Structure 1
Amino acid sequence: MMVLGVDGGGTSCRAALATAEGRIVGRAKVGPANIRTDLNGARDSIMAAVRDAFASAGQDIASIPDTPALLGLAGANVGTYGVQLRAALPFTHCLIQSDTMIALEGAVGMGDGAIAILGTGSAYLAREANEIRELGGWGFLIGDQGSGARIGRDLLEETLLAFDGIVPGSPLTEAVLAAHRGDPGQIVEFTTSATPGDFATYAPMVFDYADHGDAVAIKIADRAAAAVEASLDALKLKQDAPRCLLGGLAAQIGPRLSAHHQALISPPLQDALGGAISMAVRLFADRDVSHAGPY
């Protein structure tokens, strides 16, 4: 018996095929799979990653429907998107979780602890005495503080405020305006169709300029770090419970946390895809799914 694990987010979708003991034999990575922002596109990405993972392992893709799958997906914590996706997938045995759940499993195992996922979006999850507490994950328009998309949005806002003379500008805001040919209208046009991933492409620029002392970049980066600290505090974990920063921005935001918060941060045990496999093994490998009903 083999199991599938999938980690789908706003930037990429990864899949892994593993043995019943959890040994990964095939991996793949394709485009984004946020089921809230693009359900059909997410399904296509998931299935492409799954097929590629089977190919990587030298396995027959005809076995895909009969392989138990654990999917951790961005957007699965909102509305009925997970239910809609489940109906569109070919798996006989499938469980859809939020991407935060598989990330927690990967980072701290089955014990107490918390994660801050800092990527295109942001979300927080804690487990203590088997109780799950979740914060954030609401999308960058009304949430996702400390995320790449929110940092990019904040940068464009600061650029327009500086253009209007409402706040001081900086080399960073000048560079952003120059990239749009000095026309603030082009920035507005960009925002009308930009995805969260499009906004997040500006985040590396913010941290690069912050490292060189740019005042606006430092303001945005420090705002993101403060948001992360406030969210971690709101989880109200015991002092000795591990807290892990995950995602593409963890390395940039971590050093900007206060000394108190940095002392609480632990390295993750494994990544979210590893968490999906661990969860799949625990839920599927210990039961005879060949005689179980679909789920």
Structure 2
Amino acid sequence: MLYIGIDGGGTKTKMVLFDENGSRLKELILPTVHVLTQPQDQSIEILRNGVNQLDPDHTAIIGAGLAGYGQQKELRDKIEYICKEAFRDRPFVVESDVRIAIEGALDGHDGIVVIAGTGSIALSLKNNKLTRCGGWGYQLGDEGSAYWIAKKMFNTFCKEIDGRLPKTVLYDLIMKECDLDVDYDIITFMNHLNRTSIASYAYINGLAADLGDPYAIDIYKQAALEIRSLIQTLLKEHHSIPTISYIGGVFEHASNYILPVLNETIETLISPIHTPEYGAYKLAKKLRVKP
């Protein structure tokens, strides 16, 4: 039997074809199908084309974890419709991207997983009960996310322009990486960016931090403290300290700055056991064994 595991986050959609034993056979990285940022027809087309490339014979069972599939019934219904139109005759199960993340990172066991990518959220799994913390979106929260880091970074840049803060290497890097002729061009530059695009510039903070920029390093410390707060809130759900893991681009690109802060107070922090798309594969496999 073949399975397709799909991790549909806010920035990209990753699809992996697995065999019965969980071995990766093929994989694709496609544009995001986030229900709030991608037109419905385009999301259907991206998902349909992706599964057809991986499984032209229509034999695979699909497990999909898609951003936006949460508490709001309207969004859940829309995502389910998109999946039905895209997958058609293929059997599938759809969950949130955070659900497959915790399934993969903890290999199906109880514990806590924090996700810091374009947005941020933490999820606790205990006795098959899921509890979330954060995940309020960029307008209300997403503290510690790539978007949050980028906004903090650009705000610091503006303060450096004003003279409220002295100019550092961060100022020079933003001028270069954003191709600005004069620093006030940042206003026009930002007005043409959406949430995902803004988040994509968080890498500049990493460049500055690696060069010892104090503001960039402090932004990462603030991000780590926000992420730690999500975890500590969910720890109240557990009588003993559970296994805690993490995934997302912030950890991939800034682990040297984020993890030491978390490790100061969290002794059970581990690297993720499996990827989110593997978690989606495991959910698809559970679908097959249902009576």
Q: How far is 1:69 from its partner? A: 2.3
Contact 1:2 1:68 in 2 (8 A): yes
Write the mapping of 1:239-278 to structure 2, written as runs, cut at 5 A: 239-251=240-252, 252-253=254-255, 254-261=258-265, 263-278=267-282
* 2:284 paired with 1:280: yes
What is residue 119 of structure 1 aligned with on the other side? 117
CA distance in 2, matches of 1:258, 1:103: 19
How do residues 150-161 of structure 1 correspond to structure 2 at under 5 angstroms? 150-161=148-159
Q: Does the C-alpha gap of structure 1 residues 82 and 265 become closer, same or farther in structure 2, counting only changes over 3 Å?
A: same
Residues 42 and 187 of structure 1: is their aligned pair in 2 closer, same or farther, counting only changes over 3 Å?
Answer: farther
**Which whole-Å CA distance do the structure 2 matches of 1:262 and 1:52 have between them?**
42
**1:7-46 mapped onto 2 (5 Å cutoff):** 7-20=7-20, 22-40=22-40, 41-46=42-47
Shift of 1:50: 1.5
Structure 1 position 233, deviation (Å): 0.5
User: Cα deviation per residue 1:117-171 (whole Å; 9 max; x = unaligned)?
Assistant: 1112211111123221112222223211111111111111111122122333322
Give the counterpart letter for 2:48 in structure 1.
M
User: Hey, what does 2:133 align to over in structure 1?
Assistant: 135
Displacement after TM superposition at 1:204 (Å): 1.9
Aligned residue in 1 for 2:196: 197
DSSP 3-state at the match of 2:226: helix
Counterpart of 1:82 in structure 2: which amino acid? R
Partner residue in 2 for 1:86: 80
Partner of 1:107: 105
SS in 2 for 1:139: coil
Q: 1:194 deviation in Å?
A: 1.4
Aligned in 2, Cα 1:124/1:259: closer, same or farther, shift over 3 Å?
closer
In structure 1, what is the Cα distance between the partners aligned to 2:30 and 2:248? Answer: 17
- Residue 72 of structure 1 is matched in structure 2 by 65
Q: Which amino acid aligns with 2:171?
A: T
- Mapped to 2, the partners of 1:24 and 1:183 lie a distance apart of 47
By how many angstroms is 1:102 displaced?
0.2
After TM superposition, give the deviation of residue 39 of structure 1 in Å: 4.1
Cα offset, 1:175, TM superposition? 2.7
Structure 2 unaligned runs (5+)? none
Is the contact between residue 173 and residue 216 of structure 1 (CA under 8 Å) also seen in structure 2? no
Which moved further from structure 2: 155-164 or 247-256?
Answer: 247-256
Assess, with a 3 A threshold, how the Cα gap between structure 1 residues 211 and 21 changes in structure 2: closer, same or farther: closer
Alpha-carbon distance change, 166 to 42 in structure 1, aligned in 2, over 3 angstroms: farther
Cα deviation, 1:4-26, whole Å, max 9, x if unaligned, reads 32111122211123345544433
Give the aligned length. 278
Q: Give the distance between the partners of 2:193 and 2:212, measured in 1 at CA.
A: 28
Structure 2 SS opposite 1:257:
helix
1:91/1:150 CA distance change after superposition, 3 Å? same
SS in 1 for 2:28: strand
Work out whether residues 3 and 20 of structure 1, in 8 Å CA contact, stay in contact via their aligned partners in 2: yes
- TM-score, structure 1 as length reference: 0.85
| Deviation sequence 1:166-198 (CA, Å, 0-9, x none) | 3333220233145322232x3222323312331
Instruction: Show structure 1 runs of 5+ residues with no match.
Output: 289-295
Query: In the alignment, is the contact (CA less than 8 A) between 1:21 and 1:281 conserved in 2?
Result: no
Q: TM-score, normalised by structure 2?
A: 0.86
What amino acid sits opposite 1:286 in the alignment? V
- SS of the residue corresponding to residue 140 of structure 1 reads coil
